[in-house]
Structure formats: C-alpha cells, structure tokens
C-alpha cells in the first residue's frame, strides 16, 4: 500500500473522532452482522492487509483506504484475535470487550472508490492541465475567512489583499450565521483536518439552476480519507449563500477570478514542470488540475486519483497574486514554487514508500530537523518531515535546470529562507545545498539513488549530533 495512504490511515486510527457528531450515527451506517474481540488492554493492534498499527480502543469509525480490492482486516489483542474481509464501501461493527465487562463498539469502514472516470471524461482531459476557481469552493473559503481561526491564521486565509477586505466588508455581518457557528465548533480540536476536508471536497460541487448545491462531477470525494464533512453542511451552506446574497458578490468579482485564472496560464509553465518530473521519475499522470482561491494563504494540498486506466493529479493552492515590483520571471518562479512543491509529492512519495526504514533511521531525531512549533504538527512523522524537505529541495533542482544563474540564485535563497525562517525546517539549507551538490555531479542519477544518498548524508548528520 502507498505509504502516503498508510500514514493517512494511521492518522485516522489515532484521530478517529475528527468532527463533533452524534455517536448514534455510527450504528446507522453499519451492516447487521457484528464481530467481537476480547482484550485486557486499551491499546491494541489493528491490521490492514498485513500492515499493523497501534490503536487506542474507542467508540468511533476506523476508515480503511480504498485500494480496489477486498481488504484483510485484523484486530489483535494480548488475549484474542479477530480477522475478517472488508470490501470497499462496506461498514462492519466490531465490539471490543474490555476486561470481560465493558463493550466498546467501533465501526470498520472500507472506503469506497473516490472517482469514476468514464471514456468521455478521459478523452476531454487526457494530456491537459486545467486551472479552476470554482464558485462553491470560493463560498467555502469565504466561510472559513469568517471563522475564529480564519481571522487569525494567515496561513489558512490570506488577509493581505484588497479582495480579502472586500470579503470582510461584505460578509462580516453574517459571521454569526449557523454555518459559521458549525465551522467554529468543528475547528476547535484539529482545524486543519477539517479545513482541508471541506475546502478540497468543495471543488466537486456546483450550483444548479435552482440554486441548489449539487455534485455533478466524476468524484465521490476529493478530500483525503473517506469522510466528506461538507456533505452534511450543504443545507447550511445553501442557506448562507442565500441570506448573504453570495451570488451578487460572486458576480461582482467574477472578472477578478477570471483574471487570476488567466494569470496562472500566463506565468505557470506546467508542461515544462510536467516533462522535467516525468523525465526523472517512473510515475506517469494523464492530467493535472489546479484549484485555487484568492483567500487561500499557504495552506496547500494535493491528491492523485486513478480509475479506468487514467491517472490525474489535483492540487489546491493559493492565487497568483504577486508584489507589484516583481518581474515576469519572479512571477513565474513564485507560481512555480507553489504548484511544483505540491505536484512533486505525487512523484516523491512513491519512492519514499519503498525507503521507510532509511527515512526512519535518518529523520528519527525530530528536533534536529524541525522546530518544536505547533504549526509543524502536520508533519508528525519522519516520513512526513523528510518528504517536505525533499519536495521543496527538488524544486531547487528544477530551478537549477531552468533559470539563469542570477535568477536561480534568487530562487534558491528565497526557498531556503521560507523553509528555515518561516516554516521552521531548520536544517533545510544544509540539506538543500547537499542535494544540489549530489545532483550537479551527476544529473542523470536515478531519483531513488539520489534520495538514498541524501538519506545517508542526513543519517550521518543527525547521528553526529545525537552522539
């Protein structure tokens, strides 16, 4: 299984109550058959297709990623074992009997296939990259801008533009709407998990002629994992749109959204990046999609989807809004950095999946690599820390092959400053310079060998400090 999905699953097992919901909902989603397993410990082992994860027993859903096959699930305790098949799209109750007294019901959920690409869709999209700024996506971002977190988190919401000021001026009187209340409540514990789920899934919805929000896309979900938290909010979202006269605001700013789409097409050399990546990696993708909002700060994400022999990458990024003093090449470098460092996760992660032991050995000493900062909670494992180092450093290699020496030097300096000073990846400059050195000595090096080399260097650096 893809390690990226493995880590998502692990996150689900540890944080399986990500939204505030009535626990009775769990029983509505299940089949009639109930399995049971005995334990004398609260922490047990859950296995997914022979891969094991520790899990704290709780009355919640356990989402198991879609992989196109029937999953082999096991619950292993010190005194008992339960094994059962779990098809995609099915939910099975499991009663965990603790110390022969307490029964805790969990729900094992086989996540359904996230997308269905028919031949018409494939013919229309294959070989293309498309930039979107969807209406429902913008509505959701406006709602986040009105939340308590959104008003204070500049990474989540870009509050430094004239457009943001327009949004607040127009919508602030609706900040006590029940939709915003619901977002505030559900963002208390893990705001980014909820934010990404809603923002990403919003891109598959649209307004129909009756002004209802519907899903006419080929996607069942666009967000990570198996849950679509936005679905239950659609009535509130529609009500918020109607009461705030969102359509009026959107129409007034439509030309602005379109100008940003045009800017992306002008400054972003997607085909150049696409070719550079697929010349060096074995992964192949049939199309790229870019979704953006002028309200997004630095909270970017990506996911890939495959069906019917077709694979695509979808990215969720900020808008191409640049300082007025930037040159055209600086605009290109800025837009390229934002998009490239999302695209390349889909190329690097599959290699990292094969090198989990090496990554764990090289990035085990967390505080050598990252600051103890709450903002870095999104990178809790050596795997995630390394991949963030590697995806940004790979952009440096692309810059070295693409831009003039003068522009390249500016690009590298900015990348290293962002990663070290703004993001807290404190050893990135040394890491980046070493990767550039290895690459410059052999530009035909296989990517897996390049990654192995930088991992060995990282292990030696880390262990020297530890010892």
Phi, psi at residue 225, to the nearest 5°? 80, -160
Quote the CA–CA distance of 465 and 456 in Å, as a whole number: 15
Which tens digits make up the pLDDT trace of 215-226?
A: 999 999 999 888
The token duo for 217 is 């896309």
Q: How confident is the model at residue 26 (pLDDT cuts 50, 70, 90)?
A: very low
Q: How confident is the model at residue 68 (pLDDT cuts 50, 70, 90)?
A: confident
What is the pLDDT at residue 27? 41
For residues 352-374, give the mean pLDDT. 89
Quote the CA–CA distance of 260 and 138 in Å, as a whole number: 13
What is the pLDDT at residue 66? 86
What is the pLDDT at residue 467? 60
Alpha-helical runs (H) found in 281-363: 328-343, 345-354, 356-362
Q: What is the DSSP string of 121-144?
A: HHHHHTT-EEEE--HHHHHHHHHH
Which tens digits make up the pLDDT trace of 387-418?
A: 999 999 999 999 999 999 999 999 999 999 99
Which tens digits make up the pLDDT trace of 328-355?
A: 999 999 999 999 999 999 999 999 999 9
Which tens digits make up the pLDDT trace of 220-264?
A: 999 988 889 999 999 999 999 999 999 999 999 999 999 999 999
Handedness of CA 104, 108, 114, 119 (dihedral sign): negative
Q: Chain centroid to CA 74: how far?
A: 27
The token duo for 266 is 């002008």
What is the pLDDT at residue 334? 95
What is the pLDDT at residue 441? 95
SS3 of 219-280: the string is ECCCCCCCCCCCHHHHHHHHHHHHHCCHHHHHHHCHHHHHHHHHHHHHHCCHHHHHHHHHHH
Cα distances (angstroms) measured from residue 99 to each of 16, 78, 367, 387? 23, 11, 39, 41
Alpha-helical runs (H) found in 42-161: 119-125, 135-145, 148-152
pLDDT exceeds 60 at position 23: no
Higher-confidence residue: 24 or 168?
168
Higher-confidence residue: 61 or 250?
250
Quote the CA–CA distance of 372 and 426 in Å, as a whole number: 11
Quote the CA–CA distance of 341 and 455 in Å, as a whole number: 19
For residues 201-220, give the mean pLDDT. 96
What is the pLDDT at residue 19? 35
Cα distances (angstroms) measured from residue 109 to each of 5, 18, 104? 15, 15, 16
Spatial neighbors of 308 by CB under 8 A, at least 6 apart, are 116, 117, 118, 119, 122
Q: How confident is the model at residue 85 (pLDDT cuts 50, 70, 90)?
A: very high
Q: How confident is the model at residue 28 (pLDDT cuts 50, 70, 90)?
A: very low
Spatial neighbors of 384 by CB under 8 A, at least 6 apart, are 7, 378
Spatial neighbors of 306 by CB under 8 A, at least 6 apart, are 115, 312
pLDDT exceeds 50 at position 273: yes
The DSSP letter of residue 16 is -
What is the pLDDT at residue 7? 40
The tally of CA atoms less than 13 A away on the side-chain side of residue 243 is 17
**Mean of pLDDT over the chain:** 90
pLDDT exceeds 70 at position 3: no
Helix (H) or strand (E) holding 62: strand 61-64
Q: Which residue has the tokens 């092959």?
A: 401
Q: Residue 318: name the closest of 342, 334, 300, 340 by CA.
A: 300
- Length in residues, the chain: 467
> pTM for the whole thing?
0.86
Which tens digits make up the pLDDT trace of 275-322?
A: 999 999 999 999 999 999 999 999 999 999 999 999 999 999 999 999
For the packed helices 345-354 and 447-466, what is the interaxial angle rounded to 10 degrees? Answer: 70
pLDDT exceeds 60 at position 174: yes
The token duo for 80 is 């008992």
Q: How confident is the model at residue 79 (pLDDT cuts 50, 70, 90)?
A: very high
Radius of gyration of the chain (CA): 23
What is the pLDDT at residue 22? 38
Helix (H) or strand (E) holding 405: helix 405-417
What is the pLDDT at residue 380? 84
Q: Which residue has the tokens 């666009």?
A: 222
Quote the CA–CA distance of 132 and 316 in Å, as a whole number: 10
Q: Which residue has the tokens 């204070």?
A: 152
Using alpha carbons only, give the angle 196, 222, 55 rounded to the nearest 5 degrees. Answer: 65
What is the pLDDT at residue 388? 95
């Amino acid at each position: 299984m893809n390690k990226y999905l493995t880590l998502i699953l692990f996150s689900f097992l540890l944080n399986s109550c990500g939204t505030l919901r009535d626990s009775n909902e769990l029983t509505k989603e299940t089949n009639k058959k109930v399995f049971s397993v005995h334990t004398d410990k609260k922490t047990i082992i859950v296995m997914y297709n022979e891969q094991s994860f520790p899990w704290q027993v709780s009355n919640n859903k356990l989402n198991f990623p879609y992989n196109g096959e029937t999953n082999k699930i096991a619950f292993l305790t010190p005194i008992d074992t339960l094994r059962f098949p779990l098809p995609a799209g099915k939910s099975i109750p499991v009663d965990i009997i603790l110390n022969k007294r307490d029964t805790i019901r969990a729900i094992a959920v086989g996540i359904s296939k996230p997308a269905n690409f028919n031949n018409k869709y494939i013919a229309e999209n294959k070989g293309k990259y498309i930039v979107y700024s969807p209406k429902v996506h913008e509505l959701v971002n406006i709602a986040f801008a009105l939340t308590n977190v959104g008003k204070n988190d500049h990474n989540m919401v870009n509050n430094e533009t004239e457009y943001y000021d327009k949004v607040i001026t127009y919508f602030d009187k609706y900040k006590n709407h029940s939709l915003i209340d619901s977002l505030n409540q559900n963002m208390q514990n893990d705001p980014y998990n909820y934010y990404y789920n809603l923002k990403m899934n919003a891109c598959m919805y649209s307004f129909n002629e009756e002004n209802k929000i519907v899903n006419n896309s080929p996607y069942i979900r666009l967000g990570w994992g198996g849950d679509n938290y936005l679905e239950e909010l659609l009535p509130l979202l529609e009500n918020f749109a109607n009461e705030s006269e969102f359509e009026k605001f959107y129409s007034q700013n439509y030309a602005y959204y379109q100008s940003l789409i045009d800017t992306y097409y002008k400054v972003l050399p997607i085909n150049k990046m696409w070719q550079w990546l697929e010349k060096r990696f074995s992964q192949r993708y049939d199309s790229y999609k870019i979704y953006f909002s002028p309200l997004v700060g630095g909270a970017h994400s990506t996911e890939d989807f495959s069906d019917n022999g077709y694979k695509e990458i979808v990215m969720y990024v900020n808008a191409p809004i640049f300082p007025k003093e930037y040159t055209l090449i600086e605009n290109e470098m800025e837009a390229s950095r934002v998009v490239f460092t999302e695209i390349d996760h889909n190329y690097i992660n599959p290699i990292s999946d094969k090198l989990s032991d090496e990554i764990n050995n090289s990035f085990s000493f967390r505080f050598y690599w990252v600051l103890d900062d709450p903002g870095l909670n999104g990178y809790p494992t050596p795997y995630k820390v390394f991949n963030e180092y590697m995806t940004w450093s790979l952009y440096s290699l692309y810059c070295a092959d693409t831009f003039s020496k003068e522009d390249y030097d500016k690009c590298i300096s900015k990348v290293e400053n962002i990663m070290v000073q703004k993001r807290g990846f404190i050893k990135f400059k040394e890491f980046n310079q070493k990767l550039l050195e290895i690459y410059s000595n052999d530009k035909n090096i296989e990517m897996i060998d390049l990654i192995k080399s930088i991992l060995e260097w990282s292990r030696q650096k880390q262990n020297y400090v530890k010892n």
